[in-house]
Amino acid sequence: MEPIVSVSSGKVRGVVRDGVSSFLGIPYAAAPVGPARWDLPRPAPRWQGVRAATEYGPTCVQAPYPPPIHALLGSDGIPGEDYLNLNVWTPDPAGSGLPVLVWIHGGAFARGSNAREMYDGSAFARDGVVLVSINYRLGASGFAAIPGAPFNRGLHDQIFALHWVRENIAAFGGDPDNVTLFGESAGGMSVVDLLAAPPARGLFRRAIAQSANGSTVCEAADAGRLGHALADRLGIAASATAFGQVSAEQLLEAQNTLSLDLLINPDPARWGASVVRAGLGILNFFPVVDGDLLPGRPVDILAAQPDRVPVLAGWTRDEFRFFTFPTGIAAGITDDTLPAILLRYGFDPAVADVYRANRPHATAADLFAAVITDAVFRDDTTSLAGSPAPTHLYEFAWPSTLPDLGACHVMDIPFVFDRLAVAHTLTGPNPPQPLADETHAAWVRFATHGDPGWSPATPESLVVHTFDFPESTDVTNPRADELAALRKASTAR
């Protein structure tokens, strides 16, 4: 029997497979196309009858990943206008009081969607959790600073989706008062942003930030420079009215050329220091300190926030190898070039000596990836332990069996979702199922009652649970000398 559920805009029909009911592609907001692309989200229009929710919905306009990353992850792109949609997996639409997880996908704020096989929520529903995955506006659509348009439209979409969850999730058996927000990479950064955002308060009870930080935000003036540069490429005035007349295809083409220009010529005098420093050449349109939704850098707001919700946060041990080795960047990092590259990223080159001492056989590219992994991901994440609210930290250490990847960025996701069978282009063949069982169970426990299975971290005792195979362990303040040297070496602090 096909399950039918009533939500705020009408009735939706899902499907049941192996005891799990799924409802795919449900619009949670009106289609943001034409002039509406540059406005705040609005309620989805009501529909008559029963809407089929049996296939993934459209995705925001985006370019495919470059070939090396596409080979690891694939790319996203389902055409259509109703791309502000979400998916729900539940063990029992007729149930009640089930814990809820809301997933925000990554993709550098410019790519990705909730339609990836790796994000299928069936394993969470199998284990008694209602899983919701959302889409949001990406790239220029979500984050370009355009005069006359609100900042941070993509984050506003995420908050709008959380309001939808609060209003509707009980119809799928979920508890609206037991919602855990989680995401990875740009999705994890979104989680940290929403932890700091006043309009998001009260919409979730806990948060999980995977491979995230609280420093990847752009100053409004620098974001404005980028918005004007985008208008120049389109040959239009820098105004919401003019951008409202631009097609999605024109917007994507201009966005792609600007992104390439920024990557090749990362000049702070041209683009603005915060665009270049926080974006690292990987991001261009991303969240903006707007004085409203984001009053300041999230890492600073959270350090002063006395009543933050409990957090589970962590990183993969070799995050930045994902951006360094498959892309070919590693070939240009040698003992001769490493000092200049570290200076470009804002670090005294002497920091490499500490990392080298702990890694006597590491190449210059290995050292670069280790330093930037800590700078971008581990440093901010460990700082969350300073809050009075419980903070559980983890490091995912199991390395891919494919060459040069190690425990790189994204490696934890198929283990968290228990979706190893669809991730072999990333993990290599035969990844350890017992590690997926352990990792996935920790997320279920945290979403259910707030305890993933190990002690919370504090500034005095920085406990980090290390996920690995054949054995996971708890380590107190791992590689503390490297993190201390990194903080001392930063020229940007």
- C-alpha 138/C-alpha 140 separation (Å) is 6
- C-alpha 218/C-alpha 209 separation (Å) is 20
For the question of residue 319 being annotated catalytic, the response is yes
Q: Please give the structure tokens belonging to residue 303.
A: 């350090």
Residue 85 and residue 127 in contact, taking contact as beta carbons nearer than 8 Å: no
For the question of residue 449 being annotated catalytic, the response is no
Residue 207 and residue 229 in contact, taking contact as beta carbons nearer than 8 Å: no
Backbone φ and ψ of 450, nearest 5°? 90, 5
Active-site option among 105, 392, 409, 465: 409
Residue 94 and residue 5 in contact, taking contact as beta carbons nearer than 8 Å: no
- C-alpha 65/C-alpha 72 separation (Å) is 10
- C-alpha 114/C-alpha 106 separation (Å) is 9
Is the C-alpha dihedral spanning 250, 57, 104, 47 positive or negative?
Answer: positive
Cβ burial, residue 39 (10 Å; 0-12/13-18/19+): middle
State the amino acid at position 278 in one-letter form. Answer: A
Is the preceding peptide bond at 470 cis, omega within 30 degrees of 0?
Answer: yes
Active-site option among 319, 387, 392, 472: 319
Residue 176 and residue 169 in contact, taking contact as beta carbons nearer than 8 Å: yes
Active-site option among 122, 185, 259, 274: 185
Beta strands in 74-125 (DSSP E): 85-90, 98-104
List, by residue number, the catalytic residues.
185, 319, 409
